[in-house]
Amino acid sequence: MEFLTSQILSGISLGGQYALIAIGYTMVYGILRLINFAHGDVFMVAGLLMVYMSTVMPIYVSIPLMIVLTVLLGFVIERAAYKPLRSAPRMSVMISAIGVSYLLQNLALYATGGQPKTYASIPWISNTIHIFGAPTRVVTVVTPILVIILVVLLTLLINHTKIGIAMRAVSKDFETSQLMGVKINSVISATFVIGTFLAAVGSLLYFTNYPTVVPMSGALPGLKAFVAAVFGGIGSIPGAVIGAFIIGICETLIKGTDFAVFSDAFTFALLIIILVVKPTGIFGEKTTDKV
Amino acid sequence: MSNTKKRIDRGSLITLCIILLIFVVTVVLENTINANSLLFTVIRKGAVYSLVAVSMNLLNGFTGLFSLGQAGFMLLGAYTYAILTIPNSVRDTIYYLFQGSSFHFSLLDIFQGALGETFGLIVAVILACICAGIVAAFFAFLIGLPVLRLKSDYLAIATLGFAEILRAIFQWEKLGKVTNGANALRGYPTFSDFNIKNSSGMIVFRLSSFVPLLLAGICIAIIVLLINSSYGRAFKAIRDDEVAAEAMGINLAKHKQLSFCISSFFAGVGGALFAMFASTVQAKTFTSAMTYEILLIVVIGGIGSISGSCLASFLYIACSEWWLRFLDNTMYIGGTQVPLLRNGFRMVVFSVIIMIVVLFFRQGIMGSRELPDLFRRKRIKEGKSDE
């Protein structure tokens, strides 16, 4: 029972971390119809930035600075790698995203020299506590709460602010909203800023549970978060969050059984099943093809 | 009409001559200069990668199906090849962690017993390569049934996921008797086994770089023939406009499935060649990063150009394995250390170059042209001025 409790708890926590990444995917996809392959690597870079900065400055300076730098990175990536291709076919933009991901991984490899970097232990959230007798870290409890708070704030932003309305308009119809005077570029930049901000927060929580950061450590969480976004219905924020929690919990439960090798494969099997059975996901909107 | 026909022949003829020349030069060089030169690594790996890149181009560039499963099919091919050709005498030492293999069937033993050392090797390797392709194509058929209904980026992510699932299955301990779990497979015939040796074991004639070129060349030639056939034209029609193609009577599902299976077949053969190049097979090599690498090669060469993919593979491998190597070593010019140069810098420079190509030279090296077109274009212009 204790084992099961701790498994479910860490599953929820992992799901929350995936949720924070998945929102970035789902928002970008909703607006640009682009799988931002570089998103997982931005998440990894956020982890590395934290590693490097926490050695030279106190934690309460390095956390906000890390978030600001990551957001800046997301902004720059969009301006440099995706904006020039706005009128190009979708495949070119996706290839550009893969190129950025390759670049970020190689940069990280160069910076770290291939050595795994130990993540700074952040006071309070890496403390151990007991819940229903199961030992766990504070971060496990903090994550779902933080995720819910951030999602509520985000929903408020999207439903009630000007930029949120613009975002919804752009994701509905790119060209018409442009004709209506929506500043496409600033809306897209805002999307990337929000997405990378959440990824930065996610990396803070994620790497607290994992001792080290390596250049490849963004790739798999990134892909899984994307699967979560597809599972929940791409373009839908609550869908992404629910999808992420389901995937996080399933993955941790499988890790506890004999089939631990398949914990990653399960996510992708789920993806193929959902794409075949209900390609629009749980909350996705139905789209029709026009000739 | 007969005039155009003649021109086409001339352009292709020049290309054919160039390819033959490359083959001859490779054999000559290999037997004259230092055989450990990086040049030969580049030729071998470049040949393998050009086959895989062309197979990906068939799918992404000619049929318009954006698939990212190439590494998975290579993995299937590489494992099939290795498992079928490891001699029975060394099988138990390779599978020692699993108390021997459950698979006691080696094409190499069978054919070397029946046809003699050299001839048996050739037949066994070719058969094993074909089997590698068939296994990859069979799995492509199975996964193609559900996923080929998906559109562009969904298809990409589903095939990527499929490759990851395969990688997990091949590393599963329970299948250790067949796949050797997460451990490497080795001991099967590699390219260097094709060097001709005399009775005392001395190498008298080197063919280890020529063989991969030849094998990849044959496979690419088959793909070129396919693309120029009526099937190839149907693929291109699907790429340009699915709805129009369907209206013209092309069976979409059938042709997509065909293209996917053929592409995977050659990716499987490419995987077998990769196994021969690397001389060990391990599931962890065939990651999604490998697929991205191949995709970037296709993009650099030009999506929709076979000769572009081949050129780009050799360029890419030459840069990453040979020409840009110096960037990884600290260097001193006049007593001062050149900044930035240290391990890993090569890949950074490399990825920046790739980003520049992706952003500013979207056509790649060749665009959608082929090598024969380059020799032909001038003459067409001359012909026009005559009119």
Domain range summary for chain A, segments of one domain joined by +: 2-113+135-277
**Minimal Cβ distance to B352: which of A33, A103, A105:** A103
Task: Compare all CA atoms of chain B with the CA of A291 and give the residue at the minimum distance.
Answer: B243
Which of A:109-128 have CB within 8 Å of B? Answer: 109-110, 113-114
Q: Is residue B3 predicted with pLDDT exceeding 60?
A: no
Higher pLDDT, A277 or B317: B317
**Which of the pair, A242 or B382, is modelled with greater confidence?**
A242
Lowest-confidence range among B100-109, B225-234, B345-354? B100-109
Q: Residue B1's pLDDT band (boundaries 50, 70, 90)?
A: very low
- Nearest-CA neighbor of A96 among A70, A74, A76, A78? A78
Whether domain B11-386 has CATH 1.10.3470: the reply is yes
Query: Which of B292, B340, B342 best probes binding to A when mutated, by most A CB atoms within 10 angstroms?
Result: B292
Q: Identify the band that residue B386 occupies on the pLDDT scale cut at 50, 70 and 90.
A: very low
Per CB-CB distance under 8 Å, the chain B contacts of A90 are 152-153
Q: Given an 8 Å threshold on Cβ–Cβ distance, is A110 in contact with B348?
A: yes
Residue B254 predicted with pLDDT over 80: yes
Task: Tell me the residues of chain A between 133 and 192 that have a Cβ less than 8 Å away from chain B.
Answer: none
Q: Which residues of B touch A96 (CB under 8 A)?
A: 355, 358-359
pLDDT at A9: 86
Res A148: pLDDT: 92
Which positions ≥6 away from A83 have C-beta within 8 Å? A185, A188
| pLDDT digit string (tens) for chain A, length 291 residues | 677 888 888 889 899 999 999 998 888 888 888 888 899 999 999 999 998 988 888 888 889 999 999 999 999 999 999 998 888 888 888 889 989 999 999 899 888 887 888 887 777 777 777 777 777 788 888 888 999 999 999 999 999 999 999 998 988 888 898 899 888 899 999 999 999 999 999 998 898 888 788 888 888 888 889 889 888 888 788 888 999 999 999 998 888 887 777 888 888 888 888 888 887 777 776 665 555
- pLDDT value of position A290: 52
- Closest Cβ–Cβ partner in A91, A264, A279 for B152: A91
B145-174 pLDDT, tens digit per residue, is 888 888 777 888 889 888 988 988 888 888
Query: Quick one: pLDDT at residue B129?
Result: 94
Give the closest of A96, A106, A269 to B347, CB-based: A106
Q: Does pLDDT of B122 surpass 70?
A: yes
Q: Which residues of chain B make contact with A32, given a CB cutoff of 8 A?
A: none
Tell me how close the Cα of A80 comes to any Cα of chain B, in angstroms: 9
Per-residue pLDDT band for B347 (boundaries 50, 70, 90) equals: confident
Report d(CA A28, CA A61) in Å as an integer. 29
| Termini Cα distance of chain A | 56
CA nearest to A98 within chain B: B292
Partner B contacted by A99 (CB < 8 A): yes
Residues in B closer than 8 angstroms to A221, CB to CB, are: none
Query: Residue B8: beta bridge partners?
Result: none
Distance from CA of A268 to the nearest CA of B (A): 5
Q: Which residue of A has its CA nearest to B289?
A: A102
Residue A17 C-alpha, separation from nearest chain B C-alpha, in angstroms: 20
Q: What is the pLDDT of residue B106?
A: 82
Q: Can you spell out the DSSP letters for chain A?
A: -HHHHHHHHHHHHHHHHHHHHHHHHHHHHHHH----TTHHHHHHHHHHHHHHHHHHS-HHHHHHHHHHHHHHHHHHHIIIIIGGGTTS-HHHHHHHHHHHHHHHHHHHHHHHTTPPEEPPPPTTTT-EEEETTEEEEHHHHHHHHHHHHHHHHHHHHHHHSHHHHHHHHHHH-HHHHHHTT--HHHHHHHHHHHHHHHHHHHHHHHHHHSSEE-TTTTHHHHHHHHHHHHHH-TT-HHHHHHHHHHHHHHHHHHHTSTTGGGHHHHHHHHHHHHHHH-TTTTTPPP-----
pLDDT on residue B343: 75
Question: Distance, in angstroms, between B127 CA and closest chain A CA?
Answer: 31
How confident is residue B98, by pLDDT bands cut at 50, 70 and 90? Answer: confident
List CB contacts (< 8 A) between A276 and chain B.
146-147, 149
Is the per-residue pLDDT at B100 higher than 80?
no
pLDDT at A151: 92
Chain B residue with minimum CA distance to A224: B161
Decide if A40 contacts A219 (C-beta within 8 A): yes
Tell me which chain A residues have a C-beta less than 8 angstroms from the C-beta of B362.
88, 92
Instruction: Quote the CA–CA distance of B86 and B104 in Å, as a whole number.
Output: 9
* Domain boundary assignment for chain B: 11-386
Q: Using CA atoms, how far apart are residues B22 and B307, in angstroms rounded to an integer?
A: 14
DSSP-derived letter for residue B198 is: -
Task: Give the number of other CB atoms < 10 A from CB of residue A58.
Answer: 9
Chain B residue with Cα closest to A227: B157
Token pair of B79, please?
């494992």
pLDDT of residue B180: 83
Which of the pair, A46 or B340, is modelled with greater confidence? A46
Phi and psi at A212, nearest 5°, equal -130, 160
Question: What distance in Å separates the CA atoms of residue A193 and residue B128, rounded to the nearest whole number?
Answer: 52
pLDDT band for position B96 (50/70/90)? confident
pLDDT given at position B335: 67
Q: Which residue has the higher pLDDT, B365 or B3?
A: B365
Size of interface A-B (CB pairs under 8 A): 125
| Contact: B157, A271; criterion CB under 8 Å | yes
pLDDT of A141-186, one tens digit each? 888 899 999 999 999 999 999 999 999 898 888 889 889 988 889 9
Using a CB-CB distance cutoff of 8 angstroms, which residues of chain B are in contact with residue A279? 150, 154
| Type of residue found at B234 | A
The per-residue pLDDT for B264 is: 95
Write out the two tokens for B25: 């030069």
Cβ of residue A280 closer than 8 Å to a chain B Cβ: no
Mutation choice for A interface testing from B57, B165, B183, B294 by most A CBs within 10 A: B165
Cβ distance A265 to B158 less than 8 Å, yes or no, reads no
Q: Which residue of A has its CA nearest to B162?
A: A268
Cα–Cα distance measured from residue A204 to residue A207, given in angstroms and rounded to the nearest whole number: 6
Residues 6+ apart with CB under 8 A from A66: A46, A49, A50, A53, A200, A204
Query: What is the per-residue pLDDT for B215?
Result: 92
Q: Which residue of A has its CA nearest to B159?
A: A272
Q: Do A272 and B355 touch (CB under 8 A)?
A: no
Q: Which residues on B lie below 8 Å from A84 (Cβ)?
A: 359
Whether residues B154 and A275 touch (CB distance < 8 A) is answered with: yes
Over residues B251-269, mean pLDDT: 94
Distances (CA, A) of A189 to A106, A113, B234: 25, 32, 41
Q: Any chain B CB within 8 A of the CB of A219? A: yes
Q: Does A261 touch chain B (CB under 8 A)?
A: yes
What is the predicted pLDDT for the residue at A289? 54
Checking if the pLDDT of B260 tops 70, the result is yes
CATH number, span A2-113+135-277: 1.10.3470
A94–chain B Cβ distance below 8 A for any pair: yes
Chain A interface mutation, best of B358, B363, B368, highest count of A Cβ atoms under 10 Å: B358
Residue A269 to residue B165, Cβ atoms within 8 A: yes
Give B173's contacts in chain A (Cβ within 8 Å).
261
State the nearest Cα–Cα gap between A135 and chain B, in angstroms.
30
pLDDT of residue B181: 81
Tell me the chain A residues in contact with residue B343 when contact means C-beta distances shorter than 8 Å: 110, 113-114
